[in-house]
Amino acid sequence: MSRNPYVPNTEEDRRAMLRVIGARSVDELFDDIPAQHRDPPLDLPPPLSEIELRRELSTLAARNRPAGEMPCFLGAGSYRHFIPAVVNHIISRGEFATPYTPYQPEVSQGTLQTIFEFQSLVCELTGMEVANAGMYDGASALAEACLMAASIAGRDRIALLSTAHPHCQDVVRTYAAGRGLGVDVMEPEAVALEGGHACLAVQQPNFFGYLEDARSLGEAARANGSLYVVAVDPISLGLFRPPGDYGADIVVAEGQPLGIPMSFGGPYVGLFATRERYLRRMPGRIVGRTRDSEGRTGYVLTLQAREQHIRRERATSNISSNEQLAALAVTVYLCALGPQGLRRVAEHCYRKSQFAAAAIASLPGYSLPLRGTFFKEFVVRCPRPPQTINAALLERGIIGGLDVSHRIENGMLLCVTEMNTRGEIDSLVAALEEIGR
CA distance 139 to 145: 10
pLDDT in tens, 21-57: 999 998 899 999 998 888 888 889 999 999 999 999 9
Tell whether the model's pLDDT for residue 2 goes beyond 70.
Answer: no
pLDDT in tens, 51-103: 999 999 999 999 988 888 899 999 999 999 999 999 999 999 988 876 566 66
pLDDT in tens, 196-209: 999 999 999 999 99
The rounded Cα 395 to chain-centroid distance in angstroms is 30
107 pLDDT band, cuts 50/70/90, is: low
Q: What are the angstrom distances between the C-alpha of 356 and each of 165, 233, 352, 422, 424?
A: 23, 20, 6, 9, 10
Q: What are the angstrom distances between the C-alpha of 55 and each of 59, 60, 63, 69, 307?
A: 6, 9, 13, 21, 46
DSSP 161: E
CA distance 235 to 230: 15
CA distance 305 to 303: 6
The rounded Cα 352 to chain-centroid distance in angstroms is 24
Residue 84's nearest CA partner among 329, 314, 274, 297 is: 329
